[in-house]
Every structure is written in C-alpha cells, then in structure tokens.
Structure 1
Amino acid sequence: MKKVHVILAFFLLVSLVLSGCSSSNSNSTSDSGSDSDVVTLKFMGWEASPLETEAVKKGLKAFMDKNPNIKVEYTPVPQTNYSSKLLTMLAGDAAPDVFFLNTEDYRTFQGKDVLLDLTEYFKAEYSLDDFIPSAAQVMEIDGVIAGVSSCTVSPVLYYNKDLFDKAGVPYPPSDPNNAWTWDEFVEVAKKLTIKDGDKVEQYGVFGFENNYSTITEYLSNGGNPFNEDLTSTTYQTPEVQEVLQSVLDLRENYGVAPEASVLEKVGMKASQMLQTGKIAMLAEGSWALQELASMNFPVGVAPLPKFKEAYTHGQAHVHSVSAKTKHPEEAWKLVSFLSSEEYQIDLISEGLWMPNRQSLYTEEGIAKWYNEEVHPEGFKEMVSYFKDAKVYPNALISNNKVNSIITEELDKFYYGGESVEVVTENIDRRSAEELAR
C-alpha cells in the first residue's frame, strides 16, 4: 500500500510540474505571441517615389501595432513591367498575399481568376455608397469586388507662381467653374515661353502629350476614348481628334511645349523642370503634389483647361488579394485598413492622394486632411473637381493590351509625323480587334 502511495505522489508531482510549464507558456503567448501564432503576409507594390514608399511603410507600422498577430512584409518594386511580373507570380506559386493593382489591369486580372473574390468581406463592412462615384465604379465588376480602392487621383495643372509673377500674368483659377478655356490657356503659355534668339529658355507648359492628362480634355470636349459598351475605342470622333491636334499644336505650331526628349537631355524630371523655371506649367497627376510641396518653391495647382466644360477623371490603384493566399481573413484585414480613413488621411495630408470616401469631402472631413503647408492657396475650391470626377475610362476595359496599342499609335502621331486621321483610324481598328478576342 505504501508503494502505491509513493507512485501516486510521484505522478501528482509530475502533473503539477507539467501544469506549471503549461501555464507559463500560455502566459508568454498571451503577452507577446509566439512565432506560430503570427501570420506573415507578403505585400507588394510599386515605388513611385521614395516619399510614397516611406508613407506606406509608416501606415503598415500602424496596422501591425493594432494587429500584433499579423506581420506584413512589404516589397516595393520598380513600376517598369510591374503588371507582367505580378501576373507571372500569381500564375505560379510565388505570389504576394496582397498587392497594388493598377486600375488599367484590374479587370484583366479579375477575368483570369487570379484574384480573391472580396465581395462578402466588403459588404460586411462597407457600402459602395460610402465611396465617391468614380471609386465605386472602378471597384465593382458585374456585382463582384476583387479589389478595394486605395484613394483617388486626378490630372491637374501645376504652375510656378514666381514665373507668373515675373511675367505679370494672373494665376489660373482654382474654381473648376471658372477654369481657363483651351484658347485662354494657349495665350498664357505663349506669354510664359521665353526665348534667347532661337533658343527657348523657358517653356510655357509640359505634360499634355501624356494620354493620362489628355483624356481629361477629351471628356471636356464632349468626347470619350471608348464607346458606351466598351467594345471599341472612339479616337476617330471629331471631339477626340480636335484635342489631339490641339495638344500637338502646343509644340509644333506655337513652340510653347518641349518634346519629352528635352527632359532626358537636361537630366531632369518634370517636377525639377517646373522648380527651376524650365517650364512654367505642368499637366500631371495630383499625386505629384507630395513631391512638389517639398521642393521649396511657390507651387500652385489648378484645374486643367477646358474645351467646353471643366472635367477631370478619377481613379487610383486598388488593393487585391491572391486567390491562392493561405490567409484570406488576415489579408482582408490589411486590404480594409489600406482603404480606411485612418490610413488615407496621413497620405492625403502629405499631398500624395485625395480621398475616396464621401465622408472626407464634408466640411468636417476636409478639416481632417487639409494641410496649409502642402495644399496651395485656393485648393479647397478644387475639392469638387476630385469628388465629382468622371471615372477614368481606361479603368473600365477588360483587356489591358488596348492601352499599349493607344500609347504605341499616339507616339507615331506626336513623334513620328503620322497624321491624326491615320493614327486614330489605326487605334480604333486595332483596339476593336483586341477587345473582340
């Protein structure tokens, strides 16, 4: 009997020791989390600028502080060939869990079944009505949401106030209702173009030969680059052809705009050309304000000139999730955070983005992000320009190869001497063939 008591005592002691160890481990996991409890998400985006990358990293730190069980490994990569690289990764087994996706690629990728359907996650937290119309239109594809809007951006007109002051020329209006007409804009560009003999020391404007900006002018002229059912481009319409010829005339007929190669020869980016007075005005995306505001010169921003009505278009990259992710719940948490007011506000305040939420366009909402040190005088008058922007037409097509066709053909018009009639016929014919595939 004594032997039995000894054996029972021994097992009781072992049980207590094991229980103590278990309790100790449990407390450790609860306080700090063990490696096995932490989910690692791979997140990939492009690096538009070091400033943007740092801003994204700052936001991710805030997310991880709130979600200690999720570790996000962010990999920014060059924008060149980003889409083809990402598609290859998604088709294989090396895909990131969450990633930036260009709106021009979004519908193409969704059609290849490489994106996780986020519709139910989205509906549990949001309504499309929470978002401005252009952002809502980009996200929804036949009732499915496979990417969530990050913000919105639009093309605008930047200008160097010092150069306007020196020339005695009034600044362009901030209010879209009073935007310059195209003819008024051309006259100002002439006044701001300065020559020394045959050499141009200062150009009036740069940036309109980028189709991203020119699309705004198509819309302004009552045109559109695509037909209503998105089965073909409509570059042969008079409204689009007029804009294209007017943009080429800036350089060819009026001499107020440089060819893109000028920037390459002087080794400057367009923002540096504006800062140093090589150009007086710049048509560029609203995201450029973050960099321009940090360059220590008086920069202004205004709506682009109009042909008939002042319009801009709106869009921005979406955040999507790989259909092969092993962590859909955690991936959704990250995607939701990357669209939240909390994440957006800092980046909007720095001038990188504009809000995609209706709530951030109210008087109270604007107060959350407006920054006098970044947003130039008169910027509040432009708020409706972004909120009411038409959706970026190129974001709605299901075949991203069309965008390459447009760029290729327009290069022949701007730099190869092809007529507007020949180039626009080629765009419409080739695009229709591609969209019919």
Structure 2
Amino acid sequence: MNISRRTLFRGAVGLSGAAMLTGCSGFTGGGGGSDSGGGDTLSMVSWGQDSEQSAFKKLVQKYQESSGVTVDLRFVPFAEMFTTIDAQLQDGSAPDIFRVDYTSLASYSSADQLLDLSDQMDDDLKNDLIPAFMEAVSLDGRPYGVPHQTDTTATVYRPDLLRQAGITSVPDSLENAWTWEEFNEVLTKLKGSLSGDVAPYSYQWQKAGAYRWLNWLFQANGRLLSDDLKSAAIDSDAGRRALTTTKALFENKVVPSNSSPKSGVYSSDAFVGGKTAMAALGNFTIPELNTAVGSRFEWQATYHPQDVRAASDLGGNALVINKATDKADQAGEFLRFMMEAENQKAFCEETIELPTRRSVAEGKLNLSVRPDLAPVFTAQATTLKPEDVAQVTIPGFSQINTELQEQLEQCFVGGRSVDDALKGIADRVNQIVSA
C-alpha cells in the first residue's frame, strides 16, 4: 500500500503532453470556447478521491439549486490534470474554474493566466482567512485564487510501544510539544526497547514530499530563501542545525534505512506495516490508515517536535478562475459560495481535510473518520507562517523540490557532508530563482 499526498507537485508528473491529451476523454473546458455550455453554465475541472468528488458534487448541487446557474463539473486523474490544463490554456479551451495545488499556482499567476480576484473576494472572506493561506494564493500581494482547503502532517504514534519504552507522557498541546532534545530522548528510549526490525520513527519526505524537510529548517528559525525571495538563504547556522539533526536520524538508526527521500518505502507504509513506532503523516492519510491498521493496534496523533519555533508543511489546493473566461462574475460568485464557512466546514468534514478560514478552524470539526484527531492536525496547521508559505509557492518551486530530494538523499545515506549538501542546495536554488 502506498499512501501519499493527493496534491503532488506538477514537476513530479513525468508523462508527455501527448499522452495526457489522448488519455482524458471528456476533459473539455469553458473559457469562452465552443464547449462552455452557454451563459448560465460554468465549467469546472478537478481531480479528487471518492470523498472529494462526493463533497464537490453535493456543494455544486446546492449552488445550482440556489443560483439557477449550472456548473459542469468534471473530474480527471491527477496525473492528467495539469499537462492538459496547460495545453488548453494555450488553445483557449480551458475551463472557467479549475483546482490547483498551492505550490503550482504561481506558475499560472506569473504567466498571467489566472483572474486577479482582488475585486471578487469580499471583506468577510478576506478578514477570516488564515494569513498563511492568503499568502499561498497571492502574487505580488494580489490573490489569484481562493484557498479552498489545506492539509498538513503531524506525528502519529503507537501508545503501546511508547508505554513499553517507559514513555507515559505525550504532548497534549502545541505549547507542550517536545523540543528537539526531548524528542531525541524519546527516540533513544524507543530504540532501546523495540525489537526486531521495528524502528522508532519515520518521516514523510519521500519522493515529491522532499520539501517537507523544510519543516525542520523553519523550526530552527531558518530560511530557504532570502526575504526578497531572490536568492538562497539555506547555507546558514539554522540550515546546518536542521540538516545535522535530520542526518543524525539515519546515523543513529532511529529511522528505517530505506525511508530516505528517494526511497519507494513511504513513511505511511512503514507505520501501517508495524515497522515504526511513530511517523510524520498527513491528515489526508487518516482514512487509509484507519482501514489498513484496523484493530491490529491503537494509534494516536500528537504534535511535531519544535526547536526555536513550531512549523508545519503546506498542503492543499486552491480554486482559480481562468483569466480568459467570459463569465468572471459568475465564476467569482461560485468561488465565494464554495468558501462560505458552512460549505468549507462540510467539505473538510467529509474529505478529512482542514479549513483555511479562522472561524471554521477555531470551531469543532467533526471529521467523518477519527474526529478525535482533528484538533491535533488543525492546530499543527496554524504553525504555518506567511513567510514560510511565500518560500514554497514561488514559480519554479517544483525544481527546487527535485534538488532537495537529490541533496538530502546524498546527505542522509550517500556520504555527502552537511556543508556540501547545503552548498549544493544553495547553488542550485540560486540558479533556479535567477532564471
């Protein structure tokens, strides 16, 4: 079983445009083209697992009944989504509305392909959005989408294995989260208690998730990019502390040796398979974990360890409007409807995702699976800072993510020194941001 983030990076999709176009029958857009469906029809395209498709369909039906506007909602596999959207934006047949992950949004807004929503977002929505997610959809201070939902990771654990190691207290709030030093003590105790090939911990930085390593950098109060986002800032004392600390996880053998960034063994696989006592996993894995683990063992969630500060990783997706649409006002009205507090709450509860509106995040979120875990993941998501988000939503971030994967792999298991890895990341980042 491979449980991975629904919102992968566009750069990780390694298929040709021709293959995408021939594999997506029925994927036609609006945007003023011949398939737009008339003046009272909006076209929208998204990907989505079953629960997401169900939630989208329910809200679209609700909107149609209240507005009289038809929404032609179509779903495609994620692997087909963006190559096809790119081609359709070029030929003028893209849909009026589409879904995009935050780390890819800037590639469209910087190419002037998305509608500026400054005049489409009312004050009630703007003032209620968590600042980090407003940053996630913005370019040069102007919003080019609405932050529909988010997801993030927290630390899941097996209480039975922690008790066996003499660990009886687990943080019950962000304020009480383990420090890096305390977390290292927990890992050491677990290592001394666990038998066979069970490791204390695994982290979800495999493949396209390599960027999640930045949690450690941000916890150390470091930066990937300079304040103006125009040069690398990772080759620093904070960068060295973060990379030294994570490299030590492999050196001290407290994580599986096959859980490195380029490994095909995901953190979720190891935890479900009983190979780790703890793991950094996303709220989006909760349904799969719940089913896969079943009654074999109990599992709970707590907060990520913290150093100078708390941090988390940016996940989730925005809804955006094609700039070429001739139905900007109708599309804007639909996006505002999707972002209404009660609608965002309903979507997140069914899909096991997290809200971006303060009023929803601060209320009770009754997730359809393991609602007891909602407070942990929701609180962890609040540790995202706008300045963190700005660094992972620049145009070309997928290239940086690929470089992180390569350099972290070489540092963790390939013998590369911390200093050389930091320099390698910095040099490549400088090339990418200056291109």
For this structure pair, what is the TM-score category when the shorter chain's length is used for normalisation? 0.7 to 0.9
- Written as runs of structure 1 = structure 2, the 5 A alignment for 1:309-388 is 309-314=309-314, 316-350=316-350, 352-362=352-362, 366-367=363-364, 369-371=365-367, 374-376=370-372, 380=375, 383-388=378-383
What is the percent sequence identity of the aligned residues? 22
The match for 1:46 is 47
Matched, 1:292 2:292: no
Matched pairs, number: 390
Matched, 1:154 2:149: no
Report the Cα distance in structure 1 between the residues aligned to 2:227 and 2:127, rounded to whole angstroms. Answer: 23
Please state whether the residue corresponding to 1:288 is helix, strand or coil.
helix
* Gaps in structure 1 of 5+ consecutive residues: 1-34
2:403 counterpart (405, 429, 434): 405
The letter for the 1-side match of 2:200 is: G
Whether the 8 Å CA contact 2:137–2:146 is kept in 1: the answer is: yes
| 1:160 to 1:56, Cα distance in 2 relative to 1, 3 A | farther
| 1:53 to 1:373, Cα distance in 2 relative to 1, 3 A | closer
Report the Cα distance in structure 1 between the residues aligned to 2:113 and 2:125, rounded to whole angstroms. Answer: 24
Please state whether the residue corresponding to 1:301 is helix, strand or coil.
strand
Report the Cα distance in structure 1 between the residues aligned to 2:162 and 2:251, rounded to whole angstroms. Answer: 23
The match for 1:252 is 251
1:150 Cα shift? 0.8
The letter for the 2-side match of 1:46 is: W
Whether the 8 Å CA contact 1:303–1:310 is kept in 2: the answer is: no
Report the Cα distance in structure 1 between the residues aligned to 2:290 and 2:351, rounded to whole angstroms. Answer: 8
After TM superposition, what 4+ stretches of structure 1 lie above 6 angstroms from structure 2?
A: 35-38, 261-265
Q: CA RMSD for the aligned pairs?
A: 3.2
Matched, 1:120 2:115: no
Report the Cα distance in structure 1 between the residues aligned to 2:54 and 2:366, rounded to whole angstroms. Answer: 20
- Written as runs of structure 1 = structure 2, the 5 A alignment for 1:270-289 is 270-289=267-286
Post-superposition CA distance 1:217-274 (Å, at most 9, x none): 2121121211111112222112112212221221232343342379978xx7643532
1:374 Cα shift? 1.8
Larger radius of gyration: 1
Query: Higher helix fraction: Structure 1 or Structure 2?
Result: 1
| 1:382 to 1:327, Cα distance in 2 relative to 1, 3 A | closer
Post-superposition CA distance 1:47-66 (Å, at most 9, x none): 4x444444334433333343
| 1:88 to 1:260, Cα distance in 2 relative to 1, 3 A | farther
| 1:394 to 1:352, Cα distance in 2 relative to 1, 3 A | farther
Report the Cα distance in structure 2 between the residues aligned to 1:381 and 1:434, rounded to whole angstroms. Answer: 36
The letter for the 1-side match of 2:289 is: L
1:313 Cα shift? 4.8
The letter for the 1-side match of 2:371 is: H
1:36 Cα shift? 7.5
Whether the 8 Å CA contact 2:59–2:343 is kept in 1: the answer is: yes
| 1:263 to 1:113, Cα distance in 2 relative to 1, 3 A | closer
1:115 Cα shift? 0.9
Report the Cα distance in structure 1 between the residues aligned to 2:80 and 2:228, rounded to whole angstroms. Answer: 29
Matched, 1:55 2:55: yes
* Gaps in structure 2 of 5+ consecutive residues: 1-35
Please state whether the residue corresponding to 2:119 is helix, strand or coil.
helix
| 1:208 to 1:337, Cα distance in 2 relative to 1, 3 A | same
The match for 2:10 is none
The letter for the 2-side match of 1:430 is: R
| 1:187 to 1:117, Cα distance in 2 relative to 1, 3 A | same
The match for 2:24 is none
Judge which range, 186-195 or 211-220, deviates more: 186-195
